[in-house]
Structure 1
Amino acid sequence: KSIKKALSEFRRTHYDSWHEHREKFTEDQLVILADVLISPSYYA
């Protein structure tokens, strides 16, 4: 849970320049970030 909180905080504090930071991640890392940061659907 603390990892998710840290990643959420990073994304929130770097939102304005996310397009620049995004380029530093690999495609696999971006997929993992999306999996962690996007809440699973209640109905899934």
Structure 2
Amino acid sequence: MEKKKTGISYVFQLAKDERKKLHLGMFLSVISAALSLVPYPVLF
């Protein structure tokens, strides 16, 4: 019996045709989270 994949490996299995878009989305999500930590006055 095959062991069920879970977590990120399962997501990559589902999105095997769209890996570049998935990686881009993950990268942009990390950038967005990092920028949300920067206080607004610092940006202006």
Answer whether TM exceeds 0.5 for this pair.
no
Q: TM-score, normalised by structure 1?
A: 0.42
| More relative contact order, 1 or 2 (CA 8 Å, 6+ apart) | 1
Q: TM-score, normalised by structure 2?
A: 0.42
